[in-house]
Structure 1
Amino acid sequence: MTTTTTYIAFLRAVNVGGRTVKMERLRALFGELGLERVGSYIQSGNVFFTAEDTDAAGRAALTARIEHHLAERLGFPVPVLLRTVDEVQAVLDAEPFAGVEVTPDVRLTVNFLSEPLPADFPIPFTSPKGDYEVIGADPGTAFVVVHLRNGKWVTTGSLFGKSYQGSVTSRFLHTTAKIAAAARKA
């Protein structure tokens, strides 16, 4: 008997920098791959779907298949950070930001990683400008407190320095919770 699971594809570089893709089109592109119960949450590249439950190698192959299809159809690369809804819920349940006070100048971000942070990356880490703090990480996720400076915040591309070669995409903590809830309902 084949079992299925609900996955969430956190897409990087969608609907930023002139790379606009309507969610309806993204859902259709995922459907073209034979993925089922495809849904999305807001316009920032969060797509969920059901597919056959698989091991790490199978998940890597599914990720590569999605990335290839999106690049082919959209004309630009779209890194995909694929997680199960249960994995995302486990991150939320761990309360990685417990004790951090949210103010108008503080944002909590869950940063999905394609590769673990380098072993020599210090945690906790505060940026030289004091605009963000990496307060924790696991192999697939880093937890970052962002301090707005002049109403702006640091982008994900520069969070971990040049030694980090993987892909990163950030979601606010409250948005991550809403994405997980939407995926569970689908």
Structure 2
Amino acid sequence: MSTTFVVFYRNMNLGHPNSPGRALLEDALREAGASSARSFQTNGTVVIEAGDAAPREVVRRAAPRLLAVSGYDDAAFVRPLDRLAAILDRDPFAGAGDERTYRETFTFFDGGQEFGAPIPWTNDRGDVDIIEIADGVALSVIRRTGTRAGSPTAEVEARLEVPATTRTAGTIRRLVKAFG
């Protein structure tokens, strides 16, 4: 039985320069071994069934085609859909925000580095609160100050020195509802 995985591509905007279109992205993943691939929204989020293939290997094998055809060459993070559903089921954002909250977010990264600060953690500008971090997922509450919103991606990348990408909790909720 195949497990459903989600691929979160960093800095991918379907159809924009140096990003593939939807059909090309889905085809590249299927040609690389996914039994199915379905793009969700336009932000580089793709739901795949990997069949007998390792999902990270599917993503790795699709990368050369994405580069050759569209110029896309950035990080991708793979997570089981059921793990995202389990995080949402715990309602981790309950009580974490306040009237200043702009968005609740999931930031994906690879590696087991220590964050180097106690969690929950707030950045110096006070516009990012990382409320939980484990197994390559940081959950954050962000605030907008003036016209600028906090960036959990930038905070995770700076502290852990790895690439990362962020999706709103709303996106993850819609994703789990559509495919879970």
| Structure 2 residue 164 is the aligned partner of structure 1 residue 165 | no
Distance 1:125 1:78, change over 3 A: same
| Aligned-partner Cα distance in 2 for 1:167–1:115 | 10
Distance 1:93 1:68 in 2: 36
> Residues 50-129 of structure 1: matches in 2 within 5 Å?
50-52=49-51, 58-101=54-97, 103=99, 105-129=101-125
> Residue in 2 aligned with 1:6?
4
Shift of 1:20: 3.9
Offset, 1:32:
1.8
CA apart distance, 1:151 = 2.9
Q: Distance in 1 between matches of 2:100 and 2:126?
A: 16
The alignment of Structure 1 onto Structure 2 pairs a total of residues equal to 179
The aligned residue for residue 154 of structure 1 is 150
**Partner Cα distance (1:102, 1:175) in 2:** 20
| Whole-angstrom CA distance in 2 between matches of 1:104 and 1:125 | 16
Per-residue deviation at 1:104?
A: 6.9
Structure 2, unpaired ranges of 5+: none
> What residue number does 1:25 align with?
24
- Structure number with the bigger relative contact order (C-alpha 8 A, sep ≥ 6) is 1
- Name the TM-score, length of structure 2 as normaliser: 0.85
Partner of 1:48: 47
TM-score computed with the length of structure 1 as normaliser: 0.82
Query: Which amino acid in structure 2 is aligned with residue 7 of structure 1?
Result: F
* Aligned partner letter, 2:78: L
Q: Is the 8 A contact 2:115 2:159 kept in 1?
A: no
Residue ranges of structure 1 left out of the alignment (5+ in a row) = none
Compared with structure 1, are the counterparts of its residues 69 and 164 closer, same or farther at alpha carbon in structure 2 (3 Å cutoff)?
farther
Q: 1:39 is matched with which residue?
A: 38
Residue type of the partner of 1:10? F
Q: Which moved more, 1:19-28 or 1:80-89?
A: 19-28
Cα-Cα RMSD: 2.5
Alignment-derived partner of residue 178 in structure 2: 182
Deviation at 1:60, TM superposition (A): 4.3
1:119 is displaced (CA, Å) by 4.8
